[in-house]
Amino acid sequence: MRYRLHKPLLFALALGLFSLNTQASCPAVRSEGISCHEYASPPKGSTWSDGELRVNFFFMYTSPHSGPLEKFTRDWHNKQNFAVGMYHVSWGGSEFARTHYALVKHGLAGSLNQRLFDAIRSKTYRGQDDLVAWATAEGSARAGLLKVAVDSQQAHDYANLAERMAQLSEVDTVPAFTISGKYRVTVLKTDPTTLSELEALLDALVVRVWPAH
C-alpha cells in the first residue's frame, strides 16, 4: 500500500514547516488554532503500540468548530487510503452520540450531519422527529428506522466506546484528532488558513507513524 503525498504536505515541506525525519516531537505550527501534543507513551489501556496506523476524529454536534471540521475530515479522508474513525463524545449525555451511530448505521451521516450541526447551532433542532423528516424528504427508505437505532443497545455501546476512547486518548477538548497513540491534534479555529495548515500537519504526522513504502 503506497501513501500519497498531497499538495498541502508538499507545500509545507517546501517551506520547511515539517521535517520527515525520525524525531518524535510535533512539527512546529503557525496557526493559533492548532495545538499538537506528543504522547510520552501510548495512552494507558490502549492497543496503539501495535505499529498499525489509527487515525481518530473526536467531535460533538454542539461544538461550534466540529461542523466545519467534520466536513474537512470527510474531504481529507476521501484523499487517503486508510480509514478514519469518527467518535462523537458525550460528556454528560449520550443522545447525540447515539444519534451519530444511527445516522452512520443507516448511511445518512454524509447527507444529514451538516444539517444537524446547522440546526443545533441555530437552535431549531426539535429532536429525532427532525431526523426522520429530513431522511424522508431525501427519499431514504431507512428514515423510519432512525429512532429505533438511536435507542438500540448498539447505540449505547457506541456512545460508551466513544467516551472511553476519548478518556484513553486524554481528549478533553473537541474537535481533536489522534494518530496511533503518538499524537493528539486539537483544533480551535476552522478558517481556511488554519485548515490548510491542519491538512499539511495531519499528512506529515501520518507519514511519521506510517512511512511510505
End-to-end CA distance of the chain: 7
Domain total in the chain: 1
Q: Rounded distance, CA 2 to CA 130, Å?
A: 42
Q: Does some domain include residue 28?
A: no
pLDDT of residue 114: 94
Q: Does some domain include residue 16?
A: no
pLDDT of residue 53: 84
Q: Does some domain include residue 25?
A: no
Given CA atoms 155, 159, 165, 168 in this order, what sign does their dihedral have?
negative
CATH number of the domain to which 101 belongs: 3.40.30.10
> One-letter amino acid identity for 36?
C
Determine contact, residues 24/182, Cβ cutoff 8 Å.
Answer: yes
Q: Rounded distance, CA 163 to CA 159, Å?
A: 6
62 is in which domain, residue-wise?
48-190
pLDDT (tens place) for every residue of the chain, 213 residues total: 333 334 444 333 333 343 333 335 899 999 999 999 999 887 776 555 555 788 999 999 999 999 999 989 989 988 888 889 999 998 878 999 999 999 999 999 999 999 999 999 999 999 999 999 999 998 999 899 999 999 999 999 999 999 999 999 999 999 999 998 899 999 999 999 999 999 999 999 999 988 864
Q: Rounded distance, CA 25 to CA 35, Å?
A: 13
> One-letter amino acid identity for 209?
V
Q: Does some domain include residue 126?
A: yes
Where b means 16+ CB within 10 Å and e means fewer, 112-129 reads bbeebbebbeeeebeebe
**Quick one: which of 55, 10, 8, 16 has its CA closest to 176?**
55
Calculate Rg over the CA atoms of the chain: 18
Give the pTM: 0.83
